Amino acid sequence: MARLRFSKMHGIGNDFVMIDQRTNPTDLTPERCRLLADRRLGVGCDQIIGIYAAKHSNAVVAYRIWNADGSQAGQCGNGARCVAAWVQREAPGKVGQVMHLESPKGVHRAQCMADGQVQISMGVPEFTPRNIPMVGFADMQDSYALALPGFPEIHFGAVSMGNPHAVVEVDDVAGMQIEPLARAVQTDIHFPDSVNVGFAQVISRDEVQLRVYERGAGETLACGSGACAAAVVLMEHGRVARSVTVRLPGGDLQIEWPQHGQSVLMTGPTAFVFEGEFDFEGQGL
């Protein structure tokens, strides 16, 4: 196999290996994803984003998402912004152009703004437990109680943004050791497909501090779908306004959810880091 050409990008520190599967089709096995994501033996990234020809007529491209552990995901908010920026760079149209991107879970409106910010329409949040998926809780509730061995009972909100999220409101997100609790939630039987776990501290009605321990990647500097998940769960609880700045360790995202039944809008920056080639054969893959 010829060497794999890729672009390295990030969305406020959530970093990606971007592969154009139309020009260099690559079989992204779990082993290859883990090697690509390895920060010593590979390129290093939180997720791999494969770009494909779109099936939906109004979408300019389709994208698929692999976590660093080789598992696939249904959505990646920071990755979607990078796909839009990648398309804009590959085929520079008028700045501010609107395009549509096809994710595994649907088609999303994207707009690259003149100031470099990218807005993605992330879709309508899904709170029905079985559609998250989450089992063992009868119906849609404001919040759910989960008792985990070795941890005090937690109350959390749960939502799908095309991928599963549990959101725990905390008092001091910066001072927390989030990994042990997050891993306990991820392996709990209530989440058959595991789950991304967000820890959110409300700073004001229009400001939230958030850290996310992601499914398949661990704690990342930012999680776009996690920022949407935290914002809509807190909005449902009346804790924040319908437009909120979510401050993650890697930077800020603006999340708006005008009303129930409408799509969540996420706006934030992207960055190109470098282009490269990767030699799987040289490492036996």
The answer to whether 47 is annotated as binding is: yes
> Which range binds ligand API by CB under 6 A, 72-80, 92-100, 152-160, 173-181?
72-80
The answer to whether 58 is annotated as binding is: no
Q: Which of residues 184-203 bind ligand API (CB under 6 A)?
A: 196
* 7 contributes a contact to ligand API by CB under 6 A: no
Catalytic residue among 45, 82, 112, 223: 223
Quote the CA–CA distance of 211 and 215 in Å, as a whole number.
Answer: 13
The answer to whether 281 is annotated as binding is: no
Using CB under 6 A, pick the residue from 214, 236, 250, 257 that binds ligand API. 214
> Which range binds ligand API by CB under 6 A, 149-157, 199-207, 222-230, 253-261?
222-230
Using CB under 6 A, pick the residue from 7, 12, 14, 107 that binds ligand API. 14
Quote the CA–CA distance of 194 and 7 in Å, as a whole number.
Answer: 29
* 216 contributes a contact to ligand API by CB under 6 A: yes
C-alpha dihedral sign at 268, 273, 277, 278: negative
Q: How far is the CB of 279 from ligand API (least distance, A)?
A: 26
Nearest to 195 by CA among 135, 155, 141: 135
Nearer to ligand API, 133 or 205 (CB): 133
Q: Are 129 and 158 in contact (CB under 8 A)?
A: yes
76 is catalytic: yes
Six token digits for residue 239: 């804790």
Q: Are 54 and 241 in contact (CB under 8 A)?
A: no
223 is catalytic: yes
Quote the CA–CA distance of 1 and 225 in Å, as a whole number.
Answer: 34
Q: Which of residues 74-103 bind ligand API (CB under 6 A)?
A: 76-79
The DSSP annotation for 209-264 comes to EEEEEETTTEEES--HHHHHHHHHHHHHTTSS-SEEEEEETTEEEEEE--STTSPP
Question: How long, in residues, is the chain?
Answer: 285
Binding site for ligand API (CB under 6 A): 14, 46-47, 65, 67, 73, 76-79, 163, 196, 214-217, 220, 223-226
Q: Residues at the annotated binding site for substrate?
A: 14, 47, 67, 77-78, 163, 196, 214-215, 224-225
